[in-house]
Chain A
Amino acid sequence: MKEGFRQAMAWLHTWTGLIFGWILFAIFLTGTLSYFNDEISHWMQPEVPVRQVSSEASLTLAQRYLQQHAAGAGRWVISLPSARDPGLSVSWQMPGNEGRRGPREQRQLDPLSGEVLQVRDTRGGDFFYRFHYQLQMPHPWGRWLSTSAAMLMLVALITGIITHKKIFKDFFTFRPRKGQRSWLDGHNAVGVLVLPFHLMITYSSLVIFMYMVMPASILVAYQGDTDSFFSELFPASESPKAQGQPGQLLALAPFVERAREHWGGGQVNLVTVSHPGDVKATVNVMRSSADRVMYEFGNAVAFDGVSGAFLTADPARPTPIAIAGSFYGLHLGHFAGPTLRWLYFICGLAGTAMIGTGLVIWLGKRQLKHAKSGVMPFELRLVEVLNIASMAGLLIAVATFFCANRLLPVSLAERGEWEVNSFFIAWGLSLVHALVRRGRAAWVEQLALAAGLFCAVPLLDALGSEQSLRVLLAQGDWARLGFDLTCLGSGVFLAWAAFKMRRAGQLGGKAPARTARVISKVEVN
């Protein structure tokens, strides 16, 4: 019975891994990129300079600009520069017709001079962030698909642990240059050694969308009144309504310090002002989510904008809600400083590699049986094409997205959308290429192309840049330089991978007999 159980779990691991592997690879890769979404966005908008200014100074500039250009607005939103996002942006909404809100306006300001910057239209790193849970599908189907994939990922992880008989004995085992055995060792290594991260990221992603996918308890406990559930969960402090009488708004900068006093420290990233010209103006100072592990929805301090009086502050959360918030916070990783953020990134890549190696192993095992005949049955060919397109093809698409940001003319209409289009066009073409070319050739060619594109990214940045390298170093624009270096490194790695693939293909003849014996031993584990 024991043998039966392990074998059943192995079967489940193999099939959940395959069917959702391609989607999960894409989710993991774009999710991993999202840990540097601010840095990616910054690279994709090189017009925004990196300035060393205090929150108060940039807030004062923002207030001056808004008072000159948006005095009649219903709400001002000011996003202050932070360590990861050097931009100062303001947005406002004018009251529209018939009491409805008017269109939203947004400007990027230079944090030093307060002048408006002309910044190219781009989705930036936000594209990867939203893609990894929406999958470019209409609302809410994308979220349902990604959450279902997450549930199956959990199943795959647990069945993988159950199936891995020698999980402790083989904890440190990695044997390179042994064909399929090495791939399996690698798969186990990135799986087991990074297990805390994989389990956390998978379970937290379920918690994030639990309100949507598991609403039964809300509906029963609140008898369908979801609104009261959410208002109990996130007690929102109601902003006082406009009184209709003009009032003089105080200087905003001191409110930041007062909020910090209330929290006993902390950083401020967002300041909103409701009804700025009114006597009942309210200033909300929002605490940066980078301050603690637990993610808090709207941890803000509210002040009366005209008298300066303290109004309300968001209360501490009860334990179960704090736990949910911690899952959220751990998943998003906003609290992570530079070192920890790089580790998040590396762990994310490990997860991506775990899925990728799994897909390669799935096919490799079954391909050996057909190696002599040279003809692959339809199902295996399908898996092969999907493997190549979803992995190498996706890498090509990511690199194309970055190249497009530098190549597309700045004045092009809907520029941001065209960058996204180029991502999907490149991905689609890679699928066609994988269909047309034979397996190994397709891998080598696509990996080589991805390598070339990634290496091209820093070149394009340097060629088109208004600022010289010396200026960037002087400004301390590590995000942009780090991005260029990482792309270069990725390009070099992919070139190495393409080279290894090609060599393995050339040495092809000797491998099958030996690996076939290894495979039969490796059948269940």
Chain B
Amino acid sequence: MLLPVLLSYSGFTALCLSMDRHHRDLLARTPTARVRRLLQLCGWALLGLSLAAAVLATGWSLGLVEWCAALMASAMLLVWLLPYRPRLVMRLAALGLLFSPLVALALG
């Protein structure tokens, strides 16, 4: 459960940053079209990796359920933190990205 959540949280943060309004709130600058596209790509890729992580760990039936749960939980966390603790949002995403490969290796 941990790995899918870390990956989906980072993915959603990337997708969030790809939006002008939120990019300005979090990073105090307007993103160029290239940056926006890159963030979108990364975001969707991370969400896809999150699905892979869930399915590889517990098979398709339980994996899909866990993936949906990870998506919903990480999205709720992100949206709740965004207006109150924007810097924490970024830090958690960074930590998530940092720890995911380690967690993936640990789980084998």
Contacts and interface: CB of A to CB of B under 8 A. Distances in A.
Q: Name, among A169, A173, A292, A346, the residue most crowded by chain B CB atoms within 10 Å (CB to CB).
A: A173
Contact of B75 (A176, A193, A340): A193
Contacts, number: 56
A189 B79 contact: yes
Contacts of B16: 171-172
A344 B66 CA distance: 11
Interface in B37-80: 61-62, 65-66, 68-69, 71-73, 75-76, 78-80
Given A293-B62, A335-B62, A340-B1, A172 B72 contact: no
Nearest to A340: B69
10 contacts: A171-B16, A172-B12, A172-B22, A172-B78, A172-B79, A172-B82, A174-B80, A196-B71, A196-B72, A294-B61
B85 to A, nearest CB: 12
Given A174-B79, A174-B82, A176-B83, A193 B65 contact: no
Nearest to B65: A293
Contacts of B83: 174-176
Interface in A332-385: 335, 339-340, 343-344, 346-347, 350
Given A171-B16, A197-B72, A294-B61, 11 more contacts: A172-B19, A173-B79, A193-B76, A193-B79, A197-B68, A293-B62, A326-B61, A340-B69, A343-B73, A344-B69, A347-B72
A196 B68 contact: yes
A193 B72 contact: yes
A279 interface: no
A292 B61 contact: yes
Q: Name, among B69, B71, B75, B84, the residue most crowded by chain A CB atoms within 10 Å (CB to CB).
A: B69
A371 to B, nearest CB: 27
A350 B82 contact: no
Contact of A194 (B19, B21, B65, B72): B72
Contacts of A171: 16
Interface string A183-196: 00000011001101
A343 B82 CA distance: 20
A330 B80 contact: no
A190 B73 CA distance: 11
A176 B84 contact: yes
Nearest to B13: A172
Contacts of A292: 61-62
A263 to B, nearest CB: 16
B84 A339 contact: no
A169 B20 CA distance: 10
Contacts of B69: 340, 343-344, 347
A197 B71 CA distance: 11
Contacts of A196: 68, 71-72
A399 B11 CA distance: 39
A243 to B, nearest CB: 42
Contacts of B1: 339-340
Size class of B's contact patch?
A: 20 to 34
B65 A330 contact: yes
A176 B80 CA distance: 10
B46 to A, nearest CB: 15
A325 B47 CA distance: 28
A295 B80 CA distance: 34
Contact of B73 (A294, A335, A346): A346
B19 to A, nearest CB: 7
B60 to A, nearest CB: 10
A194 B12 CA distance: 14
Contacts of A193: 72, 75-76, 79
Contact of B65 (A172, A176, A340): A340
Nearest to A176: B83
A177 to B, nearest CB: 9
Interface in B1-17: 1, 12, 16
A169 B65 contact: no
A193 B65 CA distance: 15
A499 to B, nearest CB: 18
A346 B75 CA distance: 13
A196 B71 CA distance: 10
Contacts of A176: 83-84
Nearest to B17: A172
Contacts of A335: 62, 65
B82 to A, nearest CB: 6
Contacts of A339: 1
Nearest to B70: A343
Interface in A492-523: none
B35 to A, nearest CB: 17
Q: In the A-B complex, list the 6 residue pairs whose CB atoms are closest, starting with the nearest.
A: A193-B75, A343-B69, A172-B16, A293-B61, A196-B68, A339-B1
B91 to A, nearest CB: 17
A333 to B, nearest CB: 9
A190 B76 CA distance: 8
Contacts of A344: 69
Contacts of A350: 76
Contacts of A190: 76
B75 to A, nearest CB: 4
Nearest to A182: B83
Interface string A63-103: 00000000000000000000000000000000000000000
Interface string A44-80: 0000000000000000000000000000000000000
Contacts of A189: 76, 79
Contacts of B82: 172, 174
